[in-house]
Amino acid sequence: MSTSPLKESVIPKLPPPTPASLLDPPSPRTHRALRRLQSAHSLGQSNSQPSLISQQHKQAIQANQTTSDNSSIPQHSRGRSNSDATNMMPPNLGAAGRRPITSRRPVAADALSLDRLIRDGPPDGDLVGALESVRLKVLGQGIKSDTDGMSSLRIYVWLILLNGPVLNTDDYLSLIHRGASPAYSKIRNDTFRTLKKDPLFKRRVSEASIIRLLNAVAWKLHDAKEERAENLRQLTGGNISEASSPELSTPSRSRNRALTLTTEGSDAGGSEPSIYVQGMNVIAAPFLYAARSETEAFAAFYRLITNECPGYVRSAMDGVHKGLALVDKVLAIVDPKLSMYLIGKGMSAKIYAFASVTTLCACTPPLPQVLRVWDFLFAYGVHLNLLCIVAQLVILRNSILSSPSPTKILRQFPPITAETVIEVTLSIVKKIPDDVFAEIVTHAK
C-alpha cells in the first residue's frame, strides 16, 4: 500500500472532557435565550458583534468590491431569513475533502465557548479561524444537549457548517400551500414508517410535519427540473423531439410525467435527479427533531441533499452504490481478515450497509447518538459516513468473526455509541490512501 502524505498527521489535542453537568443540562425548553432569535439565520442580537453567518455575508460582498479600505464593518441589520444573499461561503472553506486530523495554530476563537462563538461571530473578523475552531469544538467538546439529545444550539451549528441557504419563511409556506406534489403518494407511503420504533422522535415530530417538509422539498426539486428543461429548450431552439427528450414535452404532458415519477427512475435516465427517493424521509427526521421550526429543518435538509450528497437522491441512487463499493474497499484496507470473512459468507456491503449509507446512519438508534455523529459529519464532511459504517463493523469485529451467521448481527446494526464510532473513524482515516480518500470525498456528488 502506498503511504499517504497525510498519514503521519497528528490528531489535534482535544481539551479535557467537559463535566457531565455541562453535557447534560436540563431540557432546552427551560432555556429562553436563543428563543429571541427569529430564525436560524439571525444568530446574534442587533446590539452585538455580527454573527458568523453575517461575517460570511460581509466577506462575500467585499470580495467583489475593489476598495482598499476594509476597516469598517457594516452591521447586519436584518434577519438572514429575509436576506437576498445567495452563496456566502468564501471559497475553499467547506468541509469536503477535509481530513479531521490536522495541525493548526491557535486562534482567538479558541478561547470562546461554542455558544458564544455562534452568537457573537468570529473575533477580529477571523472567519477561517473561527470556522476551524467551531469544527474542533464540535469534535472535542461536542454540542451541549440534554439526555434526549435536545439542544437550543445544534440546528444553528448545522446550518453554519452546511452553509445553509437563505430562506424566507414565506417561501417555505408558499411551497406548502401549493398542495400535493407529484411525489405526494410515494411520500405518504414512507412517512408513517419513519423511525416508528423511536419514542423520542414520535413524541416530538408528527407525521404531518414530515409530509409537509418532504412535499415542499419535492416541489422545489420539481421546479428545478422544470427550469433545467426550459433552459435546455431555449438553448436548442425547441428543436429536440419529445421522443428523444421527454423533459421537453408540452406542459400538460410534463405534468403527467411528473405525476408518475418513481424512485426506480423508470421514466428518467440514471443521472436524472428525482424529486423523491426512498430514504429521504429518514434523512429528514433528525433535522425535524433538532430544529426549532420546520423552516430551519427544510433549509438544512435541502442544502444537504442538493449540495453534500445529491448522488443519493438521483433516480438511480448512483452515489449510494458507489458508497457501498467503497465500504467494501475500505474494510479490506482496514481489516482484511474481517473483510474476507464477510465476503466468504456472501455479505458485501450492499447486503448489510445499504440503509446506513442511504440515511447517513440515521436508521441506527438511538437518535441522540445519531445527532452527535451528524455533528461530526457536518463539521468534517458527510462523506465520512462511509468510514463511520466501517468503524461500526470494526467495533463488532469479535462478534462477527465468532458468529457462523453474521447476517443476524448485521441485519440491524446494534445501538450506536457516537464517541466510540467517531474515535474509531479517526483512527481509520489515517489508514486510507489518498487516492481512495479522494473517491470517498466525491462519491456522493
**How many angstroms separate the CA atoms of 25 and 27, rounded?**
7
**How many angstroms separate the CA atoms of 161 and 382, rounded?**
11
Last-in-domain residue among 134, 166, 198: 166
Last-in-domain residue among 166, 201, 223: 166
Segment (H or E) for 109: none
Nearest to residue 394, comparing CAs of 338, 323, 328? Answer: 338
Task: Let me know whether 39 and 161 are in one domain.
Answer: yes
11 in any annotated domain? no
Give the pLDDT of residue 60.
Answer: 52
87 in any annotated domain? no
365 in any annotated domain? yes
245 in any annotated domain? yes
Task: Let me know whether 353 and 302 are in one domain.
Answer: no
CATH number of domain containing 402: 1.10.472.80
Task: Let me know whether 329 and 428 are in one domain.
Answer: yes
Contacts of 235 by beta carbon, 8 Å cutoff, 6+ apart: none
**How many angstroms separate the CA atoms of 135 and 100, rounded?**
9
Task: Let me know whether 156 and 215 are in one domain.
Answer: no
Task: Let me know whether 328 and 398 are in one domain.
Answer: yes
Give the pLDDT of residue 107.
Answer: 77
Give the pLDDT of residue 101.
Answer: 56
Give the pLDDT of residue 82.
Answer: 33
Task: Let me know whether 223 and 337 are in one domain.
Answer: no
Task: Let me know whether 274 and 335 are in one domain.
Answer: no
DSSP reduced 3-state for 44: coil
Task: Let me know whether 398 and 327 are in one domain.
Answer: yes
Torsions phi, psi of 27, nearest 5?
Answer: -55, 140
In whole angstroms, how far apart are CA 280 and each of 137, 215, 270, 348?
Answer: 29, 11, 18, 23
Task: Let me know whether 322 and 198 are in one domain.
Answer: no
101 in any annotated domain? yes
Contacts of 404 by beta carbon, 8 Å cutoff, 6+ apart: none
Task: Let me know whether 333 and 428 are in one domain.
Answer: yes
Identify any residues that bridge with 314 across adjacent strands, giving them in sequence order: 273
Structural domain of 53: 31-57+93-166
Task: Let me know whether 148 and 183 are in one domain.
Answer: no
Task: Let me know whether 253 and 270 are in one domain.
Answer: yes
Per the listing, cell 470525498 goes with 441
Give the pLDDT of residue 388.
Answer: 98
423 in any annotated domain? yes
Give the pLDDT of residue 127.
Answer: 85
Last-in-domain residue among 116, 131, 166: 166
The number of folded domains in the chain is: 3
189 in any annotated domain? yes
Burial annotation 407-423 (CB, 10 A radius, 16+ → b, else e): eebbeebeebebeebbe
* End-to-end CA gap in the chain: 27
26 in any annotated domain? no
pLDDT tens track of the chain, all 445 residues? 444 333 333 344 444 444 443 444 444 444 444 443 343 333 333 344 444 544 554 555 555 454 444 443 334 333 333 333 334 344 344 454 556 655 566 777 888 889 988 888 888 888 888 899 999 999 999 999 999 999 999 999 999 999 987 788 999 999 999 999 999 999 999 999 999 999 999 999 999 999 999 999 999 999 998 988 888 888 887 654 444 444 334 344 433 433 333 333 333 344 555 899 989 999 999 999 999 999 999 999 999 999 999 999 988 899 999 999 999 999 999 999 999 999 999 999 999 999 999 999 999 999 999 999 999 999 999 999 999 999 999 999 999 999 999 999 999 999 999 999 999 999 999 999 999 999 999 999 9
